[in-house]
């Protein structure tokens, strides 16, 4: 079955959803709110699919929608936290990765997850696969909650170091 | 700590909402002044999206630990941030619509050792209350929630009106479970085996590796699949399999044979009968012998903003649903309205009546189309709805409610319509709810699905899974006449009209929306012919609409013409 034009646009959205989500989050400074906004962006992308020409720059088109939707949220909702200034946002947007670079970053994380110690792998499973809260992880592993907090923090830091090494991000 | 690590902690703190003013200014300054920081910012965003759980507190000394941040919101992990749980809400709707091959590569590479996780709950939705429960093989019971890991031996029950999506880790395979579905998870030597005791399971199955096969078993049949997209419905001694893409093999229980079913085809299995396949060539219109007129109840004015009557009941600003005395008066008025409606339905020899705006019309969404949310959206109606429908049914009339194949969700003070992963499953959940609670059998389906699935496909899945109900969708396409009686509204014409549809599908019929007396008079001959051919006319039943005698006359003329 050949996908309709709208479905093709929606496919593009799914392909770029992670990057668009990151973009929205960078503006609103809230990963949870970004999730809600991204769903609205999806709706707008779907309803305005006719105005997008397949083959042109989807990310640029969708980013414009995402920016408008996010700013609309920030205007109409009471702000719960500080967001980046227009100047800082403009600066980070100049370095926005393309879809390929975004994927490369994700693959780096995948490889790094594989390189964790068995204990850290188990923690990553519980935290990221099963989505357990620290208290639940503590109960599952029969460890104290504050110990689990520390272990999670260490595991996350190890992941970060590994990702930075793989992506050859140098020290400043 | 290096300047780089300090910056990364600031980014962490930004997304955690825990930076103080000085730290926030430091972050902004670094971004503006250091090009290297901008590139690193995106790496950090990507990393945060993939790995942040509610647990990992930022490590920097200058950043307040999240747990201590005043007013910090709980951080539920969301679908686009989770390596393994990419399917939910709008993304899931999209992915189901466009096919499994498009599911993006996930970052997940973490495989649990030993007691393998066979699937995770990617999404669990209920209009109110729990979406269901899982009984693990060690007899521990849990509420069905996103993120729950499922293993062999686990038993899932989806609640009435709820739904759940399951994701198989490491492959692009998903299962959507509909309202009141019961599923047992098993792992065999040659692959995953699911046992669907009842309900609906919509599967998107990635191609299985050689030697492995996914099997879905019901009481009446076993479906073997290598890689495809299909829907299995089981219950009341009957199993139906609808294939949207690819090919599956359906083996009837016992010695009732085996059929292979391809895209656009379906198979039915019943105890004691040979399993049989059917295709579009076997087209028949929906089975609904009663073509008498259909009454409508539409009580509300839209978006009135009336303080005492925000949902616009009786289009009367004096109605007050905010006080006990006001609600009592409202209920009394409803009782009188039902008396009047029953009298008109009787006089019109109507087959039944449909409540169009049961949830009121407080918001811009207009008709909500989700009776599962009645308690939240219109508590004054919730408390009397059972009684109202009971009275109508006791008087001998079928009942129904208007539904939508989109989800009405809260947005600020109002509601918005959102497309969902599987609109057929959502509609089925609403149908199940209204059937179970009120014995409803007639369902206008308002609007569209938001693009996730054609309405005809939605009607096919809901209609095929629930015989004995009449769907009245507003949609185009001849295919819809096989599974429903498309709603004919001159203000929003659809194609083909019933007369044209009957040329390709004899016996097809539609339902005509309520009309003004002038329009009925002008279209009299056309409508006499339509009624004679089996179409249904709807009328306003809650008051003495001058259109009623004209409709009676049209039915009488059609009956006379038949003689």
Judging contacts by C-beta atoms under 8 Å, the chain B residues touching residue A111 are 109
Task: Answer with the residue of higher pLDDT: A30 or B476.
Answer: A30
Tokens of residue A78, six digits: 């009471």
Distance (Å) from the C-alpha of residue A63 to the closest C-alpha of chain B?
Answer: 15
Q: Which chain B residues have a beta carbon less than 8 Å from that of A162?
A: none
pLDDT of residue B212 exceeding 80, the answer is: no
Cβ-based contacts of A46 with chain B (< 8 Å): 419, 450-451
Whose CA is closest to B388, among B404, B401, B373? B401
CB contact under 8 A, A152 and B84: no
Nearest CA in chain A to B30: A88
- Residue B84: the pLDDT is 32
Mean pLDDT of B483-493: 88
* B269 to B84, B199, B336, B524: CA distances (angstroms): 35, 15, 48, 45
Report pLDDT for B537: 97
Residue B279: pLDDT band (50, 70, 90) is low
Q: Kindly tell me if the per-residue pLDDT of B191 is higher than 90.
A: no
What is the 3-state secondary structure of B247-309? Answer: EEEEEECCCCCEEEEECCCEEEEECCCCCEEECHHHCCCCCCCCCCCEEEECCECCCCCCCCC
B47 contacts in chain A (CB < 8 Å): 105, 109, 159-160, 163
Q: Which of A93, A97, A128 to mutate to test the interface with B (most CBs of B within 10 A)?
A: A128
The predicted pLDDT at position B100 comes to 28
Q: Does A145 touch chain B (CB under 8 A)?
A: no
Contact call for A6 and B73, based on CB within 8 A: no
Contacts for B523 with CB less than 8 Å, ≥ 6 apart: B515
In this predicted model, which residue has the larger pLDDT, A22 or B95? Answer: A22
How confident is the model over B310-331, as a mean pLDDT? 93
Q: Is the pLDDT of residue B91 over 50?
A: no
pLDDT above 90: percentage of residues in chain A: 4
- Of B24, B39, B59, which has the smallest distance from its Cβ to A82's Cβ? B24
Q: Any idea what DSSP says for residue A52?
A: S
pLDDT surpasses 60 at B188? yes
**Chain A residues whose beta carbon lies within 8 Å of the beta carbon of residue B60:** none
CB-CB neighbors (< 8 A) of A169 in chain B: 4, 39-40, 43
In tens, the pLDDT along B409-460 reads 887 777 888 888 788 889 988 998 999 999 999 999 998 877 667 888 888 8
Cα(B185)–Cα(B21) distance, rounded to whole angstroms? 51
Cβ–Cβ < 8 Å for B81, B91: no
Interchain contact A92–B (C-beta under 8 A): yes
Mutating which of A3, A5, A95, A116 best tests the B interface, going by the most B Cβ atoms within 10 A? Answer: A95
Q: Name the band, by pLDDT with cuts 50, 70 and 90, for residue B127.
A: low
CB contact under 8 A, A88 and B169: no
pLDDT value, residue A130: 73
In sign, the C-alpha dihedral spanning B314, B320, B322, B324 is negative
How close does chain B come to A120, measured CA to CA in Å?
11
Residue B97 is predicted with a pLDDT of 33
> Is the pLDDT confidence value at B132 over 60?
yes
Q: How many CB atoms lie within 10 A of CB A142?
A: 6
Q: What is the mean pLDDT of residues B486-511?
A: 88
pLDDT digits (tens, 9 = 90+) for A43-84: 889 888 888 888 888 988 999 899 988 988 888 766 667 889
Question: What is the SS3 assignment for B426-482?
Answer: HHHHHHHHHHHHHCCCEEEEECCCCCCCCHHHHHHHHHHHCCCCEEEECCCCHHHHH
**Angstrom distance (rounded) from CA B321 to CA B324:** 8
pLDDT tens for each residue of B344-381: 999 999 999 999 999 998 877 778 999 999 998 999 99
CB contact set of B545 (below 8 Å; sequence gap of 6+): B344, B514, B539
Using the predicted structure, report yes or no on whether residue B533 has a pLDDT greater than 80.
yes
Q: Kindly state the percentage of chain A with pLDDT values over 70.
A: 97
Q: Is the pLDDT of residue B177 over 80?
A: yes
Q: What is the pLDDT of residue B543?
A: 93
* Mean pLDDT (whole number) for A114-140: 81
Which of A79-88, A151-160, B189-198, B327-336 has the highest mean predicted lDDT (pLDDT)? B327-336
Q: Which residues of A touch B55 (CB under 8 A)?
A: 127, 133-134, 137, 148-149, 152
DSSP run (H or E) holding B212: none
* For chain B, percent of residues with pLDDT exceeding 90: 38
Is A26 in the B-facing interface, judged by CB distances under 8 Å? Answer: yes
- A40, A125, A172, best to mutate vs chain B, most B CBs in 10 Å: A172
In angstroms, the CA B313 to CA B300 distance is 4
Q: Higher pLDDT residue, B468 or B227?
A: B468
- Here the tokens at position B108 are 């997940």
Is 90 exceeded by the pLDDT of residue B393? yes
Closest by Cβ to A153, choosing from B56, B75, B113:
B56
| pLDDT value of position B229 | 78
Nearest to B77 by CA among A30, A80, A113, A131: A131
Percent of chain B surpassing pLDDT 70: 85
Q: Which residues, 6 or more positions from A115, have their beta carbon under 8 angstroms from its beta carbon?
A: A162
Helix, strand or coil, per DSSP, at residue B560: helix
Query: Mean pLDDT, to the nearest integer, of B499-514?
Result: 91
* DSSP letter assigned to residue A122: H
Q: Taking a C-beta distance cutoff of 8 angstroms, is the pair A24, A31 a contact?
A: no
Return the pLDDT at B465.
59
| Residues ≥6 apart with Cβ < 8 Å to B15 | A25, A29, A30, A31, B45, B48, B52
Selecting from B3, B71, B90 the residue whose C-beta is nearest the C-beta of A39 gives: B90
pLDDT value at position B297? 97
Q: Would you call B204 helix, strand, or coil by DSSP?
A: strand
Q: What is the pLDDT of residue B295?
A: 98
B247 confidence band (pLDDT: 50, 70, 90):
confident
Tokens representing B202? 């919509």
pLDDT reading at B472 higher than 90: yes
Which residues of chain B have a CB within 8 Å of the CB of A106? 46, 50, 105, 107
Q: What is the DSSP letter of B193?
A: E
Bridge partners, B119 (sequence order):
B150
Q: Residue B102: is its pLDDT beyond 60?
A: no
Mutate one of B7, B45, B415 to test the A interface: name it (highest A CB count within 10 A): B45
Q: Do B79 and A35 touch (CB under 8 A)?
A: yes
- Tell whether the model's pLDDT for residue B482 goes beyond 90: no
Phi and psi torsions of B240, nearest 5°? -125, 145
Segments of B113-189 assigned E as strands: 119-125, 132-135, 141-143, 149-150, 155-158, 163-168, 173-177, 182-188
Q: Average of pLDDT values for B29-40?
A: 91
Q: CA of B245: how far to CAs of A69, B230, B260, B265, in Å?
A: 35, 7, 13, 9
- Over residues A8-35, the mean pLDDT reads 87
Region B546-554: what's the mean pLDDT? 95
Average pLDDT of span B310-330: 93
Tell me which residue of B185, B141, B180 sits closest to B158, measured CA to CA: B180
Rounded Cα gap, residues B355 and B333, in angstroms: 16
Point out the residue among B24, B52, B102 whose CB comes nearest to the CB of A31. Answer: B52
Give residue B459's pLDDT. 85
pLDDT at B89 over 70: no
- Separation of alpha carbons B90 and B426, rounded Å: 13
CB contact under 8 A, A172 and B7: yes
pLDDT at B210: 67
Q: What is the pLDDT of residue B343?
A: 95
Q: Do B42 and A96 touch (CB under 8 A)?
A: yes
């Amino acid at each position: 079955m050949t996908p309709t034009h709208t479905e093709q646009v929606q496919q593009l959205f799914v392909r770029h959803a992670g990057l668009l989500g990151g973009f929205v989050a960078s503006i609103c400074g809230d990963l949870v709110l970004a999730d809600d906004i991204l769903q609205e962006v999806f709706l707008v992308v779907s309803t305005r699919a006719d105005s997008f020409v397949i083959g042109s720059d989807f990310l640029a088109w969708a980013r414009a929608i995402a920016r408008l939707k996010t700013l609309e949220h920030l205007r109409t909702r009471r702000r719960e936290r500080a967001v980046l200034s227009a100047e800082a946002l403009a600066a980070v947007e100049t370095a926005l990765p393309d879809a390929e670079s975004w994927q490369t970053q994700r693959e780096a994380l995948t490889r790094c997850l594989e390189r964790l110690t068995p204990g850290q792998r188990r923690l990553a499973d519980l935290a990221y696969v099963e989505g357990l809260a620290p208290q639940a992880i503590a109960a599952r592993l029969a460890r104290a909650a504050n110990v689990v907090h520390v272990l999670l923090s260490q595991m996350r830091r190890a992941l970060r170091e590994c990702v930075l090494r793989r992506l050859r991000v140098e020290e400043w | 700590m290096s300047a780089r690590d300090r910056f990364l902690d600031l980014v962490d703190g930004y997304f955690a909402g825990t930076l103080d003013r000085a730290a926030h200014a430091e972050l902004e300054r670094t971004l503006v002044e250091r090009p290297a920081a901008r590139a690193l910012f995106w790496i950090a965003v990507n990393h945060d999206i993939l790995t942040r759980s509610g647990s990992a507190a930022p490590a920097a000394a200058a950043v307040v630990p999240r747990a201590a941040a005043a007013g910090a919101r709980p951080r539920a992990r969301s679908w686009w941030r989770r390596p393994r749980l990419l399917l939910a809400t709008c993304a899931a709707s999209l992915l189901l619509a466009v096919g499994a091959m498009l599911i993006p590569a996930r970052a997940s590479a973490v495989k649990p050792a030993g007691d393998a996780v066979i699937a995770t709950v990617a999404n669990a939705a209920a209009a109110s209350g729990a979406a269901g429960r899982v009984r693990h093989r060690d007899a521990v019971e849990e509420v069905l929630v996103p993120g729950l890991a499922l293993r062999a031996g686990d038993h899932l029950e989806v609640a009435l009106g709820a739904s759940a999506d399951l994701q198989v880790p490491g492959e692009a395979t998903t299962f959507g479970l509909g309202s009141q579905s019961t599923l047992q998870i098993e792992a065999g030597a040659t692959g995953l085996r699911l046992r669907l005791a009842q309900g609906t399971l919509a599967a998107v199955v990635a191609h299985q590796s050689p030697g492995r096969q996914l099997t879905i078993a019901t009481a009446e049949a076993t479906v073997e699949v290598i890689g495809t997209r299909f829907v299995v419905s089981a219950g009341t001694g009957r199993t139906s399999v609808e294939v949207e893409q690819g090919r599956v093999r359906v083996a009837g229980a016992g010695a009732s044979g085996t059929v292979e079913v391809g895209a656009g085809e379906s198979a039915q299995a019943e105890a004691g009968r040979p399993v049989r396949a059917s295709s579009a060539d076997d087209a028949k219109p929906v089975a609904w012998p009663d073509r008498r007129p259909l009454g409508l109840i539409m009580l509300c004015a839209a978006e009135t903003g009336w303080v005492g009557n925000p949902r616009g009941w009786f289009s009367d600003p004096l109605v007050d649903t905010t006080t006990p005395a006001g609600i009592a008066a409202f209920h009394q008025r409803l009782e009188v309205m039902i008396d009047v409606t029953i009298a008109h339905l009787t006089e019109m020899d109507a087959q039944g009546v449909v409540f169009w705006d049961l949830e009121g019309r407080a918001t811009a969404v207009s008709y909500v189309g989700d009776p599962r949310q009645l308690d939240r959206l219109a508590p004054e109606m919730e408390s009397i709805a059972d009684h109202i429908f009971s009275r109508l049914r006791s008087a001998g009339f079928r009942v129904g409610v208007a539904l939508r194949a989109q989800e009405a969700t809260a947005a600020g003070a109002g509601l918005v319509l959102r497309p969902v992963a599987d609109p057929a499953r959502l509609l089925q959940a609403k149908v199940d709810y209204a059937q179970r609670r009120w014995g409803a059998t007639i369902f206008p389906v308002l609007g569209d699905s938001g693009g996730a699935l054609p309405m005809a496909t939605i009607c096919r899945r809901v209609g095929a899974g629930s015989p004995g109900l009449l769907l009245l969708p507003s949609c185009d396409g001849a295919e819809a006449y096989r599974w429903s009686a498309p709603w004919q509204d001159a203000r929003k014409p659809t194609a083909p009209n019933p007369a044209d549809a009957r040329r390709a599908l004899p016996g097809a019929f539609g339902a005509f929306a309520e009309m003004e007396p002038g329009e009925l008079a002008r279209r009299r001959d056309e409508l006499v012919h339509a009624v004679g051919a089996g179409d249904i006319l709807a009328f306003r039943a809650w008051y003495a609409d001058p259109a009623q005698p004209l409709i009676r006359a049209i039915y009488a003329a059609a009956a006379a013409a038949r003689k």
